[in-house]
Structure 1
Amino acid sequence: MKLLNILSLTLVLLISSCNTNTTSKEIITPEKPDLIFHSSKLERKKNAPFSDAVEVGNTLYLAGQVGINPETGKLPEGGIGPEAKQTLENIKAVLEAHGSDLEHVVKCTVILSTTDDFADFNKIFREYFPKNKPARTTFAAGLLVGAKIEIDVIAVKADGFKDARIN
């Protein structure tokens, strides 16, 4: 513990000695990033009490999406497969509307209505993320509108980033 305190103090002194243009009371902070709340382009979601996406700097935080087809306003029939595909297509559309795509998704939170659908969902997920595999959390819980799946994502905007590398 004593060694940790000494190292911390040394680091603080080193940083402060490198910064000769400020007084000890000045704090240098990065410029405030823009904060943009994007409403949905879908008529049925125009009055929702949440944003479809929130943009902070170069990062997009998407609201949870379910598999409702935007043209029919209904969930597809056939179980988790068709519903997962429509959910991911809905995410893809929101990302593209805000300058990103599935290749720039860094984090997914997946909610399944039952863990019994986990393996089938993973097959679909692999189709949409064959190369870049975002960090992911998956759990089961009750979902609204009778959905079998809901996914929210965090992505970076495609502009200004080099192609992703896989390590």
Structure 2
Amino acid sequence: MKISARLLSIALTFFICTALTAQEKTEITFHKSHIPSRNNAPFSEAVQAGNLFFLAGQIGFDRAAGYMAEGGIKGETEQVIKNIQAVLKHHDLALDNVVKCTVILSDIEDFKAFNEVYTQYFTKKPARTTFAAKGLAVGAKIEIEVIAVR
């Protein structure tokens, strides 16, 4: 089947106009934190674009206790996930709404231990990227950021 250049041009123009219109209608909201003391941070804990929620990376800092979670990579991973759950809950979302996770480990050798905890919570298996980086904020062993859909 041969498609004329004119028909292809019309189809491409329609596609581009539809995509641009969809982008123009997407409202973006920079949400304040559910923890008032975090509202002075130089970033938003959650940014909403339409029905998508982009959460800032969370580390294993236990905000109630005021220190990094104990128990090494497993303890920090559990606390990170609790922190993510708290932000999601503030927006009437849960871990089942998460479609993408980006995981940053300070030591790739912690991958297996981290994964043992992670798989207990993210049972829907969202898409994921995991890598190691030299040095995370306040000496954290792990940081996770997520994208969720309402």
Instruction: Bin the TM-score by the shorter chain.
Output: 0.7 to 0.9
Letter in 1 for 2:42: P
Change (3 A) 1:129 1:9: farther
Instruction: Tell whether the 8 Å contact from 2:34 to 2:90 is kept in structure 1 after alignment.
Output: no
Tell me which residue corresponds to 1:65.
58
2:9 aligned to 8, 12, 17, which one?
Answer: 12
Q: Normalising to structure 2: TM-score of the pair?
A: 0.86
Q: d(CA) in 1 for partners of 2:55 and 2:68?
A: 20
How much has 1:76 moved relative to structure 2? 1.2
Larger CA deviation: 39-48 vs 52-61: 39-48
How much has 1:101 moved relative to structure 2? 0.9
How much has 1:9 moved relative to structure 2? 4.7
The residue correspondences of 1:1-167 to structure 2 (distance < 5 A) are: 9-13=6-10, 27=17, 29-30=21-22, 32-130=25-123, 132-141=124-133, 142-157=135-150
Q: Which has the larger radius of gyration?
A: 1
Return the structure number with greater strand share: 2
Structure 1, unaligned stretches of length 5 or more?
A: 20-26, 158-167
Letter in 1 for 2:7: T
Instruction: Tell whether the 8 Å contact from 1:42 to 1:70 is kept in structure 2 after alignment.
Output: no
Number of residue pairs matched by the alignment: 144
Instruction: Tell whether the 8 Å contact from 1:66 to 1:147 is kept in structure 2 after alignment.
Output: yes
RMSD of aligned Cα (Å): 2.3
Q: d(CA) in 2 for partners of 1:96 and 1:50?
A: 19
Q: Normalising to structure 1: TM-score of the pair?
A: 0.78
State the SS of the aligned residue for 2:54.
strand
